[in-house]
Amino acid sequence: MNLNKKRLFGNNYVNIVEGKIHLGSKEAQTLAKDYGTPSFLFLKDKISDNIKYIQEIFSGVFPNAVGFFSVKSNFLKPILEVVKENHFGAEIISLPELNMLEQMEFNSDRIIAGGPYLPDEFLHRIVTARIPNIVVYDLDQIPRLNRMIGSSLNDAEDYKPNILLKFQTSKYTSRHGISRSVESYVTIQALFHDNRNVKFGGILSHFGTRLKTIIQYRENTKNLIDIIQNLRKYAQLEPTIINFGGGFPNADSIKKSDFTKLLQEVKSTLDEEINGNYSLFYEPGRFIVEDAGFCLCEVFKFDPISKTAFVNVGNNLIPKFMKASLRFYNASRSTDALRHPVDILGNVPSDQDILIKNYNFTEKVEIGDIIIIANVGAYALTWSTRFPYSKPTILTLDGEHIQVYHERTSSGDFSLS
C-alpha cells in the first residue's frame, strides 16, 4: 500500500503518512500508546466541516432552511461547543440535554425541544427557557403546555411557542406520534382554538435512518403532503414550518450532487402543495458526527484457524443498534494489503458480540495490534451499556491540540445527568 495514501475510505481526515495512519494531525499508534485502549477520539475540525457542508446543501435548495443538531446522537460537551461555534441549532428530547445547553449559554432561540416523553419538570423548563419550537407527539400535551405557560410565566402573552405535530408515519410499524384519523384532525382544530397560549406551527415527519435513496425521500415527502392536506380539510390549519426530521447518512457516504438532487425533488413537490410559504427544519445527528469519531482498541487474542481477532472493546461501547457503517484499520500494519477476510469480535462474553464478519483485513494479525474502528461518532456512547469494564478514555482533537475529556481511571461518568 502507498506509504502516503490519502483519504482512506473517503474521509480526508484519515490518511497514511510515511507508512503510519493519521487521524487528523495525530498518528494513531502514538495516541494508543499515550492514552491507552480503548479510547474514543473526536475530530472537531471534521464536525465543523460537516456542519458547514449540510448547511450549504440545505440552504442552497431551501432559502428558509434551519438546521438543528440531534443532541441525542452525541451529547458530549466538546461536540456541542462546535455546534454552538458554527451557529447551528440543537434538537433535544430531555432535561439533561437542556441543562447542558443552558450551562453552555446556548441560545434558546436555536433550540427545538419535545418528544414522546415530556415529564412535568422538562416541560416546565422548556417553557421558562422560552424555547420557540416544541414538538408534540400526543394531543394531550397541548393543553398541558397551555396550562404550564399560564401558571409558570407572569407575562405569558409575550411567549407563544410554535407547536410542531409529530404524526405516525405510513409504515405499519409506526406507533409513536399522533393518529392520522379524521377524529384526530378534528380534535386538533378544537385544541388550538381552546388553548391560546400556544399556536400551531407545523409538522414533523421523521421517516427512518440513513436515508439516501430517492424512494425514501419521496415516501417522507408523500407522508408530509398527506398530513398537510388533512390538516387543511379537517382542521383548517396551514403549516408555516415543515420539519423534515433527521435520519440522514454520514457525511462521507453521499455525494453533494446526489444529496442536492434528493432535496430538489422534495422542494419541488412541497412547493406545488404549499407555494413555498414555509420554513424547512432539518435535524441531522449522524451526518454531523458519525465519521468524526474513532475508537482505538487492541487485539488481545487471534485465532488463526477461524481467522478471528478479539479486541478489547465490544458492543458494550459499540452496540449494533447504533447502525453505523463501521470501518476497520490495522494501524500496526497500515501498509499491508487488505485482502484477507477476518471476523472481529469484542470483549463481551456473548455470542452477540460480533463487530464484523468476513471483513477484508491484513493477513497478519497479532496480539497487541492497534485497531482503529471508524464511524463511531454517533450513538456509540449515548447507547453504550458499559458492561462491568472500565469506561473509555475520551479525546477531542482541534487542529494540533488534543484534549482529554474523560479519563478511563476517572470515578465519574461521561453521561448526562
Q: Give 16-55 pLDDT, tens digit per residue.
A: 999 999 999 999 999 999 999 999 999 999 999 999 999 9
**Is residue 231 pLDDT above 70, yes or no?**
yes
**Mean model confidence pLDDT for the chain:** 93
Residue 99 region by backbone torsions, left for phi larger than 0, else alpha for psi between -120 and 50, else beta: alpha
Average confidence (pLDDT) over 132-152: 95
Q: What pLDDT score was predicted for residue 173?
A: 53
Q: Are 36 and 370 a contacting pair, CB within 8 Å? A: no
pLDDT category of residue 153 using cuts at 50, 70 and 90: confident
For residues 97 and 129, give the distance between their C-alpha atoms in angstroms, rounded to a whole number: 13
Cα 177 to Cα 93: distance, rounded to the nearest angstrom: 14
Q: Which pLDDT score is estimated for 171?
A: 57
pLDDT digits (tens, 9 = 90+) for 294-350: 999 999 999 999 999 999 999 999 998 898 999 999 999 999 999 999 999 999 999
Is pLDDT of 417 > 70? no
Does residue 5 surpass a pLDDT of 80?
A: no
d(CA 304, CA 174) in angstroms, rounded, equals 45
Give the least confident one: 15-29, 195-209, 210-224, 227-241.
Answer: 210-224
From CA 34, how far away is CA 395, in angstroms rounded? 11
Q: What is the residue type of 245?
A: G
Tell me whether residue 104 is exposed, middle or buried, using C-beta atoms within 10 angstroms of its C-beta: 0 to 12, 13 to 18, 19 or more: middle
pLDDT in tens, 248-268: 888 988 899 999 999 999 999
Helix H, strand E, coil C: the string for the chain is: CCCCCCCHHHCCCEEEECCEEEECCEEHHHHHHHHCCCEEEEEHHHHHHHHHHHHHHHHHHCCCEEEEEEHHHCCCHHHHHHHHHCCCEEEECCHHHHHHHHHCCCCHHHEEEEECCCCHHHHHHHHHCCCCEEEECCCCHHHHHHHHHHHHCCCHHHCCCEEEEEECCCCCCCCCCECCCHHHHHHHHHHHHHCCCCEEEEEECCCCCCCCCHHHHHHHHHHHHHHHHHHHHHHCCCCCEEECCCCCCCHHHCCHHHHHHHHHHHHHHHHHHHCCCCEEEECCCHHHHHHHEEEEEEEEEEECCCCEEEECCCCCCCCHHHCCCCEEEEHHHCCCCCCEEEEEECCCCCCCCEEEEEEEECCCCCCCCEEEEECCCCCCCCCCCCCCCCCCEEEEEECCEEEEEECCCCCCCCCCC
CB neighbours of residue 84 within 10 Å? 18
Segment 159-209, tens digit of pLDDT: 999 999 999 876 545 678 999 999 999 999 999 999 999 999 999 987 667
Compute the average pLDDT of residues 109-119: 95
Check residue 1 and give its pLDDT. Answer: 54
* pLDDT value of residue 218: 85
Share of the chain above pLDDT 90, in %: 79
Give the lowest-confidence range in 73-77, 90-94, 175-179, 239-243.
Answer: 175-179
118/124 Cα distance (integer angstroms):
10
Q: CB of 162 within 8 A of CB of 201?
A: yes
Domains of the chain: 8-44+291-406 (2.40.37.10), 107-284 (3.20.20.10)
Point out which residues pair with 371 in neighbouring strands: 297, 330
Mean per-residue pLDDT, 358-387: 96
- b/e code 268-287 from CB counts within 10 Å (16+ = b): eebeeebeeebbbbbbbbbb
- Give per-residue pLDDT as tens, 69-80: 999 999 999 999
- pLDDT, residue 161, reads 97
Residue 92 clears pLDDT 60, i.e. is over it:
yes
Structure confidence at residue 174 (pLDDT): 60
d(CA 282, CA 290): 17
Portion of the chain with pLDDT greater than 70, in percent: 97
Closest CA to 234 of 180, 279, 277: 180
